[in-house]
Chains A and B, each alone.
Chain A
Amino acid sequence: MRRTKRTVWAALIGAAALLVTACGQDDSGGTATEDSEAAPEGETAEFDDVTIEVYSWRPEDADGYRDIFDEFEAQHPGITVKFSPFSSTDYDQIVQSALQAGSGPDIIQMRSYERGRQISDQGYLEPIGDLAGLDAFDDEYLEAVRGSDGEIYGVPLALNSAVTLYNVGVFEEHGVEVPTTWGELLEAAEQFQDEGVTPVAQAGDAAYLLSLTHAAVAPGAYGPDFIDQIRSGATDFTAPEFRASVQRMVDLEPYYPPNFVGISDDEARGMFAIGDAAMYINGDYRIAPLRQLNPDLEMGIIPALPDDAGDEGRLSTWVDGAYAALADSENVDAARVLLEYMTTQEFGQAFAEAFTRTSPVPGVQVGDELIQSLIEQNQQGGVPTLFHIDLAGGQPDTKEEFENALQGMYVDALELDEVVETVQRSAEAWYEPFQQ
């Protein structure tokens, strides 16, 4: 009797061991983690009380994400998402320290382009190129999350556009038509100046604001072909197209507030929100704060305007962040399920509506007219933001050199040609297309 019991127990243990071993083998022969034992059942894997921690640099988005993740949790029983936001300025150090200490979360909000690539190149991130839904994304957006090895490591989260916002009320009050060419924009600015309204609420105390302004007006001067030529190394920054784009910054200077290099973006934004200024150039992510300042503010968007009537205006766009899974996470399978959810139109829609941002997920439509017009303009004529995407590298990085040189130009420390020369010299030192 005792012997029979032993045999039964041995058989049960053996069977269990075989079962565990069989379940533990994934397609590539690897071993799945204990916590996130994936079992195929329809399209969704089942998980047993798995908590995924997500790091973010957006504490202000915590409530919005709670609603989105509640919906995800309802669709994926067994997975709980813990959103852990940190101050944006400390975030990179916190993530790097956590990665090095091996105490990271399961998913991180990763910086796009070069700064994200630094992390993926160190082997901390899980390649997710095979994730369903990613193939629908625009290739240009996927470049933001591609490592040096060509693998995809993140799901692009939001699009930023550099835009010229105009105050509809101020334009109507002064009978100024919304410009469609660069010349018309300067004429409109002149008209506002004559009538005692600040044409453009521009701040310049922080140099990065100036490269943003350049991004908002430059594509009209150089167009998408110039970007392709730069990327292929066929031309460089001494080309007349680039000089023309910097010339636009010179053209705008008379229409900025007096002493604009000494004023902060908060002050400039305030001027625009209360109607003291007709236009305000910045990222589209300033739309929500502007509405907080003045809920009645009616705004419109002017893209980078062409020189000639008949040509199209273009929006300068770049990917602002992504979500990526950590390769050594114990819950990597569950993390992949959440990342896959982030590629869906449902997530893109919820994200766009919760945060008044533009989602890179194709087909997202929002009720907000202004944001919807941004989405449409992006679809019609979006161009990559050259400095934010390609030239945020080198030491000191070329984007930083450029924006500080613009500031130097505005305080009469540099001439326009010296700005061009600064950019060319900085890019020559490291930018790959210029190394050939």
Chain B
Amino acid sequence: MELHDVWFVIIAVLWIGYFFLEGFDFGVGILTKLLARDRAEKRVLINTIGPVWDGNEVWLLTAGGATFAAFPEWYATLFSGFYLPLLIILVCLIVRGVAFEYRAKRPEENWQRNWEQAIFWTSLVPALLWGVAFGNIVRGVKIDADMEYVGGFWDLLNPYALLGGLVTLTLFTFHGAVFASLKTVGDIRERARALAFKLGLVTAVLALGFLIWTQVHTGDGGSLVAMLVAAVALVGAIGAIRAGREGWSFALSGVTIAAAVAMLFLALFPDVMPSSLDPEWSLTVTNASSSPYTLKIMTWCAAIATPLVLLYQSWTYWVFRKRIGTQHIADAH
């Protein structure tokens, strides 16, 4: 296994980490509208992700930085090509971060309601667009001999990619509902569980359609295995939430995300961004990667830093392991 293959795996892992973690906080953001009955419940939901959403988002920044360093051509083609969707995602992430931090900084109800609206939309839109983006990456887009994206904005909105977007949207919302049932107490927990079950069924239909489509289109043996794992885990997660086993359900919905993302990357390999115009023009792990020296240095950095990151991020989840409910929300805000 050469270093650029290792880095392909690392980047896949970073995206898995990102979708696993920010997946549930996007989901919780969406649920502020679907699940919370009153403003106190909204605040319970927001506070379940309060201490961790920022750390979750860094997985994206790391995936971006790692792509820049390990596969500069991929980074350049992807972000200059998917210009407008990326712009929308960035705007959402900016507003979302500010919304979390500023919502409670003023007591006026209008102020808080506006930020709550912002949290809902800025969670929903990226959750949808990431799926669209990955759908397009896996399916292949119009890339010319100079590795430049020559398609337009509307080329990105094809049925396969849009289905991918619906899958990430529903899957993250399901994942978020399971997380909410795991982190809350009282009435909201019961309703989170019931809603998670329904969301799970919708997710299952969409996800199976998308994954099978992917398998038929670009799959191989490895991606088939990952697909089966994702499918089994998703069914398990739905069953577990039905049975009231929230911890198990969350673990399994996490496995679903991990296996589904892994499947996309397996279907992609050894390309990183296939060209739909001519396979010769596809970006691959070899022609898009950095020099072996850079990859070596980065490998050392990742080998030392990653375990530490996992250690202190896990510790955060441990510190804030307690469930919260409306009784923990002070009346002041």
Q: Do these two chains interact?
A: no
